Structure 1
Amino acid sequence: MKQLTRYQPSAAPVSNLRREMDRIFNELIPFSWRLDEPETGMSMWTPITDMMETDNEYLLEVELPGLTKKDIQINCQDNVLSVEGERKHDKKEERPGYLRSERSYGAFKRSIILPTSILEDKVKATFKDGILKITVPKAEKSKRKTVPIE
């Protein structure tokens, strides 16, 4: 008897491979070592970050819903911009109707190596509505220059 197989688009083999690799690693890694399990009380997450470049600066937008300015630290050294912080999980009693929690909690650190020299002392950041916006000015020597053809 033949088995029916559901049609899957061309990206499915990659998704299947990833799912299978996740399954294998979950079976190989001892349960207590996994950090992204609700039973351990810990999780790992990386905030989503957009990065743009203009002639004069780099612009970064980092999604940090549920955090405050006090929860975030920004460091800049040797052309590496680091954003770190922690989203704390409020341990609440089981509520009726509460089925699942998919939000990630715990500490995070996101470091980005910038491709050109920057003015570390001129970096500015604003935080509003869960979006951290960081402006990183480029150093004068690293700005793009147009060379005229003679």
Structure 2
Amino acid sequence: MKTLTNKTDLSPLEMIRRDMDRMFDDMTPFSKIKFGNGGFGADLWAPETDLIELDEAYKLTVDLPGLNKNDVEVSYKDHRLVISGERKEETDEKKNGFIRKERYTGTFTRAFTLPSAIKEDQIKASFKNGVLTVMAPKAEVKKPKLINID
């Protein structure tokens, strides 16, 4: 899970957690991870993602080569933007053996925690040339009301 906050707002423990998340994300972008006994188990892959803070919105860009928009789902709930989908394995009539297989298949899920000041009803997603782009517009943050002291 990724979180967007200013570093100055983070506690030392939260900074360590973010660094650990980043380390594990960097180790696994778009690569297979084997779980289970002796390398047997589920294959997971995570598409590479950029998250950018713009003046008016947060922009998430996800590389999804070989997929189309029907293979991908975008949802937002409780400040979490979740991108999930599946790349299906291509079937070939010929029973040729692989010498090397680097194109990953299977399901993926990426989740990002966004700040609370998001216009949830105005989040938009587009898909073009294997790239998913999600725009999450920022909501206006209420400033504290100053109270006069009598």
1:94 and 2:95 correspond: yes
Aligned counterparts, 1:27-106, within 5 A? 29-31=36-38, 33-35=40-42, 43-92=43-92, 93-95=94-96, 98-106=98-106
Alpha-carbon shift at residue 33 of structure 1 (Å): 4.3
Count of paired positions: 110
Query: Structure 1 residues 61, 142: CA separation in 2 closer, same or farther (over 3 Å shift)?
Result: farther
Aligned to 1:126: 126
TM-score, normalised to structure 1, is 0.65
Alpha-carbon shift at residue 142 of structure 1 (Å): 6.9
Structure number with larger C-alpha Rg: 1
Q: Provide the C-alpha distance between the structure 1 equivalents of 2:78 and 2:71, rounded to a whole number of angstroms.
A: 24
Q: Provide the C-alpha distance between the structure 2 equivalents of 1:100 and 1:94, rounded to a whole number of angstroms.
A: 15
Question: For residues 29-50 of structure 1, what are the alpha-carbon distances to aligned partners after superposition, in whole Å with 9 as ceiling and x for unaligned?
Answer: 4247422xxxxxxx21001000
Contact between 1:117 and 1:142, CA under 8 Å: does it hold in 2? no
Q: Which runs of 5+ in 1 are unaligned?
A: 1-17, 19-25, 36-42, 144-150
Q: Provide the C-alpha distance between the structure 2 equivalents of 1:126 and 1:94, rounded to a whole number of angstroms.
A: 37
Q: Which runs of 5+ in 2 are unaligned?
A: 1-26, 28-33, 144-150
Aligned to 2:17: none
Greater displacement, 100-109 / 134-143 = 134-143
Aligned residues with identical type, % of pairs:
39
| Displaced runs of 4 or more, over 6 A | none
Query: Structure 1 residues 103, 55: CA separation in 2 closer, same or farther (over 3 Å shift)?
Result: same
RMSD, aligned CA: 2.5
Query: Structure 1 residues 82, 62: CA separation in 2 closer, same or farther (over 3 Å shift)?
Result: same
TM-score, normalised to structure 2, is 0.65
